[in-house]
Amino acid sequence: LGMERRRAPAAPPRYGRRRFWDALYRREGAETREWLGGLSRFLPQLEPELRHGDRILVLGCGNSALSHDLHELGYTDVTSIDFSPACIAAMRARYARCPGLRWAVMDIRALAFPDASFDVVLEKGTLDVLMVEETDPWHVSPQAAAAMRRVLAEVSRVLRPEGCFISITFAQPHFRKPHYAQEAFGWSLCHAACRDEDAGAFHYFL
């Protein structure tokens, strides 16, 4: 009696579901949203890995300005994919004046590109979505590990020999290295940390 009825806590966002992203992009359109920050935050680490003639694939582009900002810096061969049709429609319309930017609806686990199509594959926070429901980063579920392997196998396939995969992530290197350092990929690995100036600490890793 007299007690206020408590509201049930809101359900957490379902970041792994296409329905969640389609609803988000229908609301936001191509209004820029930068997960982990914009290109300027990572440019000192990215520039040594990029050449202006590179064929670049951006995985899970969302409504980030990353692809456009690369284009403006002279990296004019950029293909961006996302599994949300609403996202790709909005981005294609927003950047219609940039013919070097290509947009496609595609699942990162099944890339519809021939082998060795790209010099660089770049992702910013996209692979983090595969792990968002994991409760213990030391013991990843078989389902999440299998999804990660499918994506990385596709990345390996579409990269040319001596190509470069760049992953920008919240995850510390010791959590991601077991996924990347698989003999089948034959990748050599290096990592760098990026400072979030607002937070005053290292928060992001490449």
In CATH, what is the architecture of 40-205?
A: 3-Layer(aba) Sandwich (3.40)
Q: Residue 20 corresponds to which amino acid? A: F
Which of 20-24, 78-82, 88-92 reaches the highest mean pLDDT? Answer: 78-82
Question: Partners of 201 in the beta sheet?
Answer: 196
Q: Where are the beta strands (DSSP E) in the chain?
A: 56-59, 78-82, 101-105, 118-124, 159-168, 193-196, 201-205
- The span from the CA of 44 to the CA of 5, in Å, is 52
Q: Express each pLDDT in 6-18 by its tens digit.
A: 554 444 555 556 6
Q: Where are the beta strands (DSSP E) in 68-151?
A: 78-82, 101-105, 118-124
Q: Express each pLDDT in 92-148 by its tens digit.
A: 999 998 888 999 999 999 999 999 999 999 999 899 888 877 778 788 899 988 999
Residue 172 has a pLDDT of 79
| N-to-C CA span, the chain | 55
CB atoms within 10 A of CB 114: 8
Whether the pLDDT of residue 21 is over 70: the answer is: no
pLDDT band for 2, please (50, 70, 90 cuts). very low
- The span from the CA of 89 to the CA of 47, in Å, is 29
CB atoms within 10 A of CB 128: 19
Residue 80 Cα distances to 5, 42, 62, angstroms: 47, 18, 9
pLDDT band for 48, please (50, 70, 90 cuts). very high
Q: Where are the alpha helices (DSSP H) in 51-112?
A: 66-72, 85-94
